[in-house]
Amino acid sequence: MTRRGVLIADDHPVMRRGLRDIVAASRGYRVAGEAGDGDSAIRQLQLLRPDIALVDLAMPGKDGLAVAQWARTHQPMLRIVMLTMYAEPAYLERARALGVSGYLLKDDAEDELLRCLDAVVGGASFVSPSIGHPPVRPPRYADAEEKLARLTPAQRAILRQVAQARTSKEIARALGLSYRTVQNHRAHIAEALGLAGPNRLLDFAIRHRDAL
């Protein structure tokens, strides 16, 4: 039986060692490589082309979501399992929007890792049992409709693209706009919605994408 290659990307050596031991002891999987940050994870993915990537959500440099964004474009057949300490639905939603197959809490990894790998290899999704069954879409903000009404049709079109976790370059290509135009739209949308800070626009778009 062919053992599927697994890349392990986590900035904590002890965590990597624990994951490596579990994978190495299994019958169906092998450790293809390791990385301690997001940039080296992408280099390893390019070099090794594993079947599965275990990626820590919070890493130095590019985080796990950025790695997933890269993989969606460059290695769409790669199965990604997001490793995290965060059980909040917003993080799970962002991972799902990027095509992540598994969302595994680090506290569950020892007991659930192989089950998670089996699920994603079989084409299913996996969410840590500790999280339970969160709603696929968190409840809308009470004033979401009012905020969205402030946007022009062009701005709503941009926001629909943002809700799919697309980068500004991807949005520009999809809508036939310049990169600078998309960036300006995003800034004006965030201002109109009263959002400030990294990833706030993405969080809002994912939470309210049904209303777009």
pLDDT for 104: 94
- The more confidently predicted of residues 185 and 143 is 185
pLDDT for 179: 94
pLDDT digits (tens, 9 = 90+) for 37-88: 999 999 999 999 999 999 999 888 888 988 998 998 899 899 999 999 888 7
Residue-range definition of the domain harbouring residue 191: 144-211
Total structural domains in the chain? 2
d(CA 1, CA 117): 16
**Residue 105, domain CATH:** 3.40.50.2300
Residue range 181-188: mean pLDDT, rounded? 93
Q: Within a domain: residue 16?
A: yes
pLDDT for 78: 94
Q: DSSP for 96-163?
A: HHTT--EEEEGGGHHHHHHHHHHHHHTT--EE-GGG----SSPPPPTTHHHHHTTS-HHHHHHHHHHT
- The more confidently predicted of residues 130 and 184 is 184
Q: pTM (2 decimals)? A: 0.64
| Same domain as 98, residue 66 | yes
Model confidence band, residue 132 (pLDDT cutoffs 50, 70, 90): low
- The more confidently predicted of residues 163 and 55 is 55
| Same domain as 127, residue 152 | no
Final residue belonging to a domain, choices 74, 98, 131: 131
Q: Within a domain: residue 138?
A: no
Model confidence band, residue 138 (pLDDT cutoffs 50, 70, 90): very low
Residue range 196-209: mean pLDDT, rounded? 81
Percent of the chain with pLDDT over 90: 54
pLDDT for 143: 63
The candidate with the shortest Cα–Cα distance to 11, out of 86, 83, 117, 108, is: 83
* pLDDT at residue 94 greater than cutoff 90: no
| Same domain as 116, residue 27 | yes
Model confidence band, residue 29 (pLDDT cutoffs 50, 70, 90): very high
Secondary element (H or E) of residue 87: none
| Same domain as 97, residue 26 | yes
- Name 79's bridge partners: 52
